[in-house]
Copies of this chain bind each other. A is one copy, B any other.
Amino acid sequence: MKFSSSLLVAASVATLATAAGSTSKPKNYIFFLPDGYGPASETFARDFANYKSNNTNMLPVDELAIGYVRTFATDTLVTDSAAAATAYACGKKTYNGAIGVDDNYKPLGTILEAAKLDGFMTGLVVTSRITHASPAGFATHTYFRDLESDIADQLVGYTHPLGRVVDVMMGGGRCFFLPQSDEESCREDDVDLWSIAHDKYNWTMTTEREKFDELDNGLAEDIPLPFAFIPNLDHMMYEVDRESSLEPSLTEMAITTLNLFDRLTKDSDKGFFLFIEASRIDHAGHAHDPIGHVHDILEYNRAMQAIVQWINDGHSDTALLSGADHECGGLTMGVPDYAWYPEVLDVARNTAGIYAQQFETFNETANATETDKMKYLKEQIFEAYGIKNATKEEIEGYFTADSAEIYLGEVLSARAGINWSTLGHTAVDITLFGHGINTHNMIGSWENGEVGQFMANQLGLNVANVTKILQANESFVQAIGPDAEGKKLIKRYRLQHDHEHLHEGAFHKH
């Protein structure tokens, strides 16, 4: 873990000092959402990083902390990603499950849409499916987050009333772009969105890392926009599991997109709005997997550090705000005995899900005896994941657990002295980070909607006008609202315990 902390301290202080009293505004805005990153997760990852480096450093984002965000949704005190993304994007709180719509299912203009209409470049760079709630909330509208085919349709411009509003998309979720006849599809219709995007809307649709890498080299006039890099059917891999020959890191995707936008807007008086998400900090929280959680958090920190460096390095007209949508998993450290042991997390080289899959594969080996299997589980799975000298009880529990993945995570967590209280989110305020021009104005405590309002105001955007245009489109309003069945769907979602995790696990069965 090599973070150049001293550099960041200097930069932050300088920002506060020189920008005080300034009335100039940024040309470009980056909003970076670390999904499911609560206050405990920051201490958690810092303690791990410091165990590794044997010091007491700050994390890069520690240096950028400026305030807190109050995250509750309109229907409950614990928000989901959809309601929170909508609040950040539209400046208005809504109900859990809502994508760019208000409590009455009416569309709300987003900061990204307003930027696009005003001549800015726009981008969504995430590690979840690109159709997942957080990116969806910035560029699409529907009464329920699970309607990811509809979200994909809007993302490419196919059914979006404003036409195409996104210039660059990077993330997973290709299955929602394939017609149901394709065995890799998650759609329930015959729309071949991948081809439609390419043919009708001129998208460069690619799954290849080489095509992504070429973005860094091409001349401005060669850049094949709009550009979608969607290498995976489902989410991108967790950082610790990532195969770098197939997938760039979030840091690489973020910086490549920034450089691209910088070249494209250099001679314009309009800049860009870029939404970036470290999406899977949250997924590891739902899965109670400290390994996926800590490594995706550290990658978020690397990306934030790289962006701050990029801003300081000749892009002082770009401002950065970053805040989570909510906490995830109810993480606490020091359970039960005033000590937690980050060293326990320094063994695993993959997430629990990979180890569980690996055992599943071995378990299906025809000629493996019961003894072989138990030995394999203990030595190749438990030991490799960091559960040294697993007890008989720990091993046996694996076979009766609802989820092998979660079981492994919880056993390792217990040994590390950390606890997860829920498979869902919790209500605690999250930390707001900022760097660059005028971000010191966001020191203090804010509603999530106020953060969105601030950014739109800084770019001089009229989001209310976008709302007006969208709501005047009666057929669109009709199309994205719930029928009786849809209202039941939302109600069920609201009542369902730990639904988000179930939702994650269920996605492949269409």
| A464: Cβ under 8 A from any B Cβ | no
Tell me if A232 is interfacial: C-beta within 8 Å of chain B: no
Q: Which B residues touch A42, using CB under 8 A? A: 429
Is the CB of A12 closer than 8 A to any CB of chain B?
Answer: yes
Task: Indicate if A37 sits at the interface (CB-CB under 8 A).
Answer: no
Minimum distance in angstroms from A283 CB to a CB of chain B = 16
List of B residues within 8 angstroms of A139 by Cβ: none
Question: What residue of chain B has the Cβ atom nearest to residue A47's Cβ?
Answer: B77
Q: Which of A166-174, A387-395, A417-425 contacts B (4 or more CB under 8 A)?
A: A417-425
A159 at the interface (CB under 8 A from B): no
Across the interface, do A428 and B47 meet the contact criterion of CB distance under 8 Å?
no
Instruction: Knowing A63-B445, A65-B445 are in contact, say whether A332-B428 is a contact too (CB < 8 A).
Output: yes
Q: Are the CB atoms of B497 and A65 closer together than 8 Å?
A: no
Known: A65-B68, A78-B333, A332-B330. A338 touches B445 (CB 8 A): no
Assembly CA distance A40 to B47 (angstroms): 20
Scoring A12, A44, A445 by chain B CB atoms within 10 A of each residue's CB, the highest score goes to A445
Check A78 against B340 for contact (C-beta < 8 Å).
yes
With A67-B65, A335-B421 given, is the CB distance from A426 to B40 under 8 Å?
Answer: yes
State how many angstroms separate the Cβ of A385 from the closest Cβ of chain B: 22
Instruction: Please pick, from B68, B335, B422, B500, the residue contacting A431 in the complex, using a CB distance under 8 A.
Output: B68
Binary contact track A385-427/B, C-beta < 8 Å → 1, others 0: 0000000000000000000000000000000000101111111
Chain B residues within 8 Å of A337, by CB: 424, 495-498
Q: Are B333 and A47 in contact (CB under 8 A)?
A: no
CB-contact partner of A78 in B62, B77, B338, B422, under 8 A:
B338
> Which of B12, B58, B334 is within 8 Å of A422, CB to CB?
B334
Contacts A78-B340, A338-B424 given: A72-B58 contact, CB under 8 Å?
no
Interface membership of A113, Cβ < 8 A: no
Chain B contacts for A500, CB-based, 8 A: 338
Q: Which residue of B lies closest to A424 (CB)?
A: B338
Known: A12-B444, A333-B78, A421-B419. A338 touches B39 (CB 8 A): no
> Quick check: A80 and B428 within 8 Å, CB to CB?
no
Q: CA A12 – CA B419 in complex, angstroms?
A: 37
Q: Are B80 and A338 in contact (CB under 8 A)?
A: yes
Q: Does A46 contact B (CB under 8 A)?
A: yes
Nearest chain B residue, comparing its CB with the CB of A40: B428
A347-369 with Cβ < 8 A to chain B:
none
CB neighbours of A429 from chain B (8 A): 39, 42-43
- With A78-B339, A339-B77, A419-B421 as given contacts, are A334 and B426 in contact (CB-CB < 8 Å)? yes
Interface residues of A in 426-445 (CB under 8 A from B): 426-429, 431, 440, 443-445
User: What are 17 A-B contacts defined by CB distance under 8 Å?
Assistant: A20-B21, A43-B70, A43-B428, A58-B70, A63-B444, A65-B444, A65-B445, A66-B444, A77-B342, A78-B334, A330-B332, A332-B422, A332-B428, A333-B426, A334-B425, A335-B421, A338-B500
- Name A's B-contacting residues (CB within 8 A): 12, 16, 20-21, 38-40, 42-44, 46-47, 56, 58, 62-63, 65-68, 70, 72, 76-78, 80, 96, 327, 330, 332-340, 342, 419, 421-429, 431, 440, 443-445, 447, 494-500
